[in-house]
Amino acid sequence: MTIVPDTKDWTWVLERPCPECGFDTSGFPVEAVPGMILANAAAWPQVLAGPGNPGARTRPEPGKWSPLEYGCHVRDVFLRFDQRLELMLSQDDPLFPNWDQDATAVQDRYGEQDPAEVTAQLRRAALAIAGRFESVTGGQWQRTGSRSDGARFTVETFARYLMHDPVHHLYDVTGRRAVAT
């Protein structure tokens, strides 16, 4: 069975806490984002390749991604958002190239990738984007960019929006809701 494409516009997470995972995108100073990215990334090795989880490739139900597929997605979110962040910091009000997340999952055969490699790639991608956020200072947080569907972001709202994604997917895999920071 295939996964139903996620067509929801998730920008509402900037307005209110997520009722599913419990994460509140307004509940932390934006300067905390690099550390939060690294903390999230540190949880994935256990999920993807830990001795307690031989079922990384197993979908818990037919319409829901396996931990491995979620890990691939989070890795690619970090990679893709790092490119977008670089655009926002180097160009004035860029338009982000479109990214079809569900098509990527199918084309790149997420479910057939090697969990150990995905673990390493996710960590590298997290380090890269955390490092770029670490470099953001002062007025750079208010630089702007737009998604192809018209959603507009500042670097700050982009950071808060991004942060929900890996947190929510860790919840998808572990069932543990985000705790208040």
Decide whether 20 or 117 has the Cβ nearer to Zn ion.
Answer: 20
Nearest approach, Cβ of residue 172 and Zn ion (Å): 9
Nearest approach, Cβ of residue 116 and Zn ion (Å): 27
Nearest approach, Cβ of residue 106 and Zn ion (Å): 23
Nearest approach, Cβ of residue 135 and Zn ion (Å): 27
Nearest approach, Cβ of residue 127 and Zn ion (Å): 24
User: Burial letters for 109-123: b for 16+ Cβ neighbours within 10 Å, e otherwise?
Assistant: ebeebebeebbebbb
Decide whether 115 or 166 has the Cβ nearer to Zn ion.
Answer: 166
Task: Give residues 15-34 in contact with Zn ion (rule: CB under 5 A).
Answer: 18, 20-21
Of positions 143, 160, 168, 169, contacts Zn ion by CB under 5 A: 168
Please tell me the distance from the alpha carbon of residue 141 to that of residue 66, in angstroms, as a whole number.
35
Task: Give residues 74-113 in contact with Zn ion (rule: CB under 5 A).
Answer: none
Residue nearest to Zn ion (CB): 18
Q: Is 36 in the site for Zn ion (CB under 5 A)?
A: no
Nearest approach, Cβ of residue 95 and Zn ion (Å): 26
Name the segment binding Zn ion (CB under 5 A); options: 92-100, 126-134, 136-144, 168-176: 168-176
Q: What is the largest CA-CA distance in the chain?
A: 48
Task: Give residues 52-71 in contact with Zn ion (rule: CB under 5 A).
Answer: none
CA 40 from centre of chain: 10
Contact residues for Zn ion, defined by CB under 5 A: 18, 20-21, 168
